[in-house]
Structure 1
């Protein structure tokens, strides 16, 4: 059984307050969801999710961890958050197996859009994931359909409410399976004032009911198809958090990290030293 207290003590995104570092391993090139707010890029300048300087193979990720731990011994978590989805390929799960063999002291943390979470839940449990983050932006298909343009599911493209319905059902069913295995689950929701601002409390209620224990509200970065939308302000975020807190614990210290972030959030960043010069492979499909 996973030690939930240990997770809270040493994972900077699940409650740890001081000097705990994480290392994001950018091993996932492709995605299966086209989110209207997502603009994945390969660069070293933008500090936001969906951005990395390179895409690594699982074996290269293990070498990167060795470099990262030398530069930042405070790293307690090996996370995979993109830049594509972690379940769209086998790269993330293979990397976690290698981490378990070489660095068993590190917490293994995975982020996913949840489209394939229900059907790949046993694999996730099997590989020994300690924490899981699922991005759930709506639990109403009509609202979700305004946030995504489409999904690719078992080789077929779906759009509109049909795509949204498939995504939501798989997310909630998958969260239930993972929670039943004792794995700590955090939910990320991108707050979009014009679309889901007054839907946040229902998302919080349903994900809590499914087994999630922590909720993180991330303000929209206006870009891609939502580039003309307004970025939520402090009052918007605070209001949404207060509504969500009626149902679930809310995380308030998110740094909106890159997919190749290395170090203590808000204090140190060693990503260039660790990753610069690695193999670069650019994909074009959006990360969820």
Structure 2
């Protein structure tokens, strides 16, 4: 039986899988955590890199108010054209959010997680937030419940969070230095008054750290989000990573600043730039020795629905869900069956990687151990399922992996404009293609299911090799196959090796 994974069929056991050292926040790389924590994480797409290929999430926008102001934030309502935190198309009441969640979970059985992340701060709207959680914990007990907060009101809400079995909390912590914080947060609303400057940052930081300690003391998993703002907190975030790990956070997500002027944020209007892809990767790499780093975040809208990297929210607007008849008892049974099949496929995939057909990876490592060969960044177009299943022209983002003698590691994703919009427009969008090529800076290969003649030529001219030879194959197997081909063609020797050969 094939598993309907949001319109795609996942790789079966016979296809192989990741090397033991690959894949970011996979279960393999969380082996140091207790079993009960790994059990909470393994099917959570926002916490596990492996899970994000197979499981979906949704956010419900029930929290309009916020108790702080961030220079990178501008909450927008009734907006379908921007994909960033704080943006929603419909603000929901708790009753509407509950019905929408049940509708999504019945329609998309791979959905495992319901989060409240805005468009304001959930804990600045405690009545609406906890009314939603209370009802869902009763009506949909198979769905994980999560909350994302700036942390200002967190210590006062920890007891309530624990009461409703909310065992995943994300705190946005951008600094532990009040002077840096004053450059990010113009004000907070604290104890019925607005406080500004360094004093405001001091209070926020103290509350965030106190809340983090309280959550971890209760065994609640904490992921820390940080926005990388060049020239403001970029160097400082390495220290943030060390501190939050010491206080019990188990995952750190360093995200790039989104600061386009058209979004209307203070940073956007003032011309504050975001980090380049290479700057972001360098910071994430520098933090990784101290902390597990999340690399697959999509900086989702406050009403996102579906797999990470896609948005099916338009299928579940209020008028559409009002017309739906939902038998959630039957849906729960189907959800359980599909989740069991996903787990069986993942278990088979993990077992398969140790079988003889993947001994070639060990052979590659043995060959590479005799010389130093450089890692290669490769971009992948995928619609999910852990396979290469998207046309280059249909991709709105590319996943980026670093492939080396040590295996495969996801390093992030690059959002792009859509190159092909159908009809006769494909191939005419020269400016769009140029933007896509710029977004793939540093990548040497782009893998997709198909690619047209025009983008193929321009990618090659830019030094990026298109590859359409591995459609419907598991991403990791295809990446290693391309790396082996580059090795055989002599394209992987380091500059030192090349100089040594030239002297010889």
Would the TM-score normalized by the shorter structure come out above 0.5?
A: yes
Aligned to 1:248: 291
Aligned to 1:283: none
State the distance in 1 between where 2:249 and 2:184 align: 22
| Greater gyration radius | 2
Q: Secondary structure of 1:206's partner? A: helix
The correspondence for 1:203, drawn from 240, 261, 265, is 240
Q: Where in structure 2 are the equivalents of 1:1-16 lying within 5 Å?
A: 3-15=36-48, 16=51
Query: Are 2:325 and 1:270 aligned?
Result: no
What is the CA distance between 1:31 and its match in structure 2?
A: 0.2
Greater than 3 Å deviation, 4+ residue runs: none
Q: Where in structure 2 are the equivalents of 1:28-47 lying within 5 Å?
A: 28-42=63-77, 43-47=79-83
Aligned to 1:226: 267
Is the Cα–Cα contact under 8 Å of residues 2 and 130 in structure 1 kept in the other structure? no
What is the CA distance between 1:2 and its match in structure 2?
A: 9.8
Aligned to 2:62: 27
State the distance in 1 between where 2:145 and 2:53 align: 19
State the distance in 2 between where 1:190 and 1:22 align: 22
Q: Secondary structure of 1:146's partner? A: helix
What is the CA distance between 1:277 and its match in structure 2?
A: 4.5
RMSD between aligned alpha carbons? Answer: 1.5
Aligned to 2:114: 78
Q: Where in structure 2 are the equivalents of 1:150-161 lying within 5 Å?
A: 150-161=187-198
Is the Cα–Cα contact under 8 Å of residues 194 and 229 in structure 1 kept in the other structure? no
Structure 1: stretches of 5+ with no match in the other structure? 279-288
Greater relative contact order, per chain length (Cα 8 Å cut-off, separation 6+): 1
Of 200-209 and 131-140, deviating more is 200-209
Q: Secondary structure of 2:57's partner? A: strand
Q: Where in structure 2 are the equivalents of 1:3-152 lying within 5 Å?
A: 3-15=36-48, 16-42=51-77, 43-90=79-126, 91-152=128-189
What is the CA distance between 1:276 and its match in structure 2?
A: 4.9
Q: Secondary structure of 1:93's partner? A: helix
Distance 1:63-1:17 versus aligned 2 partners, 3 A rule: closer
State the distance in 1 between where 2:282 and 2:301 align: 26
What is the CA distance between 1:127 and its match in structure 2?
A: 1.6
Aligned to 1:261: 304
Q: Secondary structure of 2:134's partner? A: helix
> What is the TM-score of this pair, normalised by structure 1?
0.93
Aligned to 2:212: 175
Offset from partner CA, 1:55-84 (integer Å, 9 cap, x none)? 111111110012212331110001111001
Of 1-10 and 222-231, deviating more is 1-10
State the distance in 2 between where 1:25 and 1:2 align: 30
Structure 2: stretches of 5+ with no match in the other structure? 1-33, 321-504
What is the CA distance between 1:120 and its match in structure 2?
A: 1.6
Q: Secondary structure of 2:186's partner? A: strand
Greater share of residues in helix: 2
> What is the TM-score of this pair, normalised by structure 2?
0.54
